Structure 1
């Protein structure tokens, strides 16, 4: 188990992939053919649901189908894991997000995170964006973790766990190329003249990115290369 640092999150939230219920559900999801089979058979694309969540204001059940264009909200102590197309998502408790539609029903063009946190893995394809109150990330095929901190005036955190991401916050722009966790803060007010600042890796683990990647038939960059780097706050130097 890789080391991880928590900031305002609980150990249980980042160890969701270890639960027997999820492991059984993930195995069943894969054995049943994944998203393609679920879509063809009009089955739910939810892999795991614990606690309460709403979809467009209505309660989510294990039979709910989540589509692009939907708005999701999770309650206290809840977690939601689902797949749309070639993208997999794990939504933390007390999170509100919108999944906007791309060129097709099963293509996510934009994930708008209003508050809370989500870990996600995205297959290769057309450029897509993750938007928070203080930053925008243009992504291709990548694994990322995104969190909005309402207690810090909606300050946003973004970790490019692996892949290439076009980062923007206010006037700041950069391209993040990462094979092992390159993280940033989207500041509410400039710090040392910047609103896009380096951050440490917090509130997520290698293993949960690996679990999400497996749901869409992928592997993380460190799984493919067989080696890992160093989690640090060198967002501008690596």
Structure 2
């Protein structure tokens, strides 16, 4: 298992993928043809569900279909994995978010995360965004981990790919092969709302499995190696500093 650092999360939240039930569900999803087959056969796009989750205030059933425009919430024991169009999502407990509709019924234009945490993988496509109370991230095709903390700060890791980040007047373009991480602050720190962070609260295996639901490898799987998981985003051991380090 890859190295990971916990901060305000439990080991159990990151080890969900080891459960036999999820592995069987993920294998079945792939064997049955993934998203396209689920649409054609009018099957649920819920890959895995544990504990309580709610859609538009009603209890989510395992055989239910999540649509763009839905308001989704997980309970204290809730855990949800689903696929929508060319994006896949792993939702941690105590999360509240909305998947806003894009050009088609199955296209997500905005993932609006209010509380909690989500691992998500986005195939290349039209402009899309992840929005939190303190951050806007423009997605171009990437795997990311997003968390809204109890203190109001947002944590964002560009696990691989290219993302444009905006927090107040601060903005940067993140290009990452291996976990480039940021804080979006509630109030400026040293005059900035967008600050560097370490890689916390998510594992390589989680991102790999969420990507696999779309039939995609991660960047480190493509390269056949991993870098230093310090939040700077590079493969090389002697790498440049985080792009926000002055």
Q: In structure 1, what is the Cα distance between the partners aligned to 2:189 and 2:203?
A: 27
Q: Which residue of 2 aligns with 1:54?
A: 54
**Is 1:31 the equivalent of 2:31?**
yes
Q: In structure 2, what is the Cα distance between the partners aligned to 1:226 and 1:27?
A: 23
The CA deviation at 1:123 is: 0.6
Q: Which residue of 2 aligns with 1:145?
A: 145
Any idea what SS the aligned residue of 1:232 has? coil
Deviations 1:162-193 (A, max 9, x none): 00000000100100000000000000010111
Any idea what SS the aligned residue of 1:146 has? strand
**Is 1:217 the equivalent of 2:215?**
yes
Q: Which residue of 1 aligns with 2:225?
A: 227
The CA deviation at 1:86 is: 1.1
Any idea what SS the aligned residue of 1:140 has? strand
Unaligned runs of 5+ in 1: none
Q: Which residue of 1 aligns with 2:135?
A: 135
Q: Which residue of 2 aligns with 1:185?
A: 183
Q: Which residue of 2 aligns with 1:171?
A: 169
Q: Which residue of 2 aligns with 1:94?
A: 94
Query: Aligned-pair RMSD on alpha carbons?
Result: 1.0
Q: Which residue of 2 aligns with 1:205?
A: 203
Q: Which residue of 2 aligns with 1:73?
A: 73
Q: Which residue of 2 aligns with 1:236?
A: 243
Any idea what SS the aligned residue of 1:141 has? strand
Any idea what SS the aligned residue of 2:38 has? helix
The answer to whether the 8 Å contact 2:195/2:244 transfers is no
The CA deviation at 1:237 is: 5.5
The CA deviation at 1:90 is: 0.3
Deviant stretches of 4+, over 3 Å: none
Q: Which residue of 2 aligns with 1:22?
A: 22
The CA deviation at 1:233 is: 4.2
Q: In structure 1, what is the Cα distance between the partners aligned to 2:129 and 2:227?
A: 25
Q: In structure 2, what is the Cα distance between the partners aligned to 1:75 and 1:17?
A: 19
Q: In structure 2, what is the Cα distance between the partners aligned to 1:162 and 1:224?
A: 11
Q: In structure 1, what is the Cα distance between the partners aligned to 2:110 and 2:17?
A: 25
Any idea what SS the aligned residue of 2:188 has? strand
Q: In structure 1, what is the Cα distance between the partners aligned to 2:98 and 2:112?
A: 5
| TM-score, normalization by structure 2 | 0.94
| TM-score, normalization by structure 1 | 0.97
Q: In structure 1, what is the Cα distance between the partners aligned to 2:94 and 2:139?
A: 24
Q: Which residue of 1 aligns with 2:239?
A: none
Q: In structure 1, what is the Cα distance between the partners aligned to 2:141 and 2:231?
A: 23
Aligned residues: 236
Write out aligned runs for 1:147-162 (5 A). 147-150=147-150, 152=151, 154-162=152-160
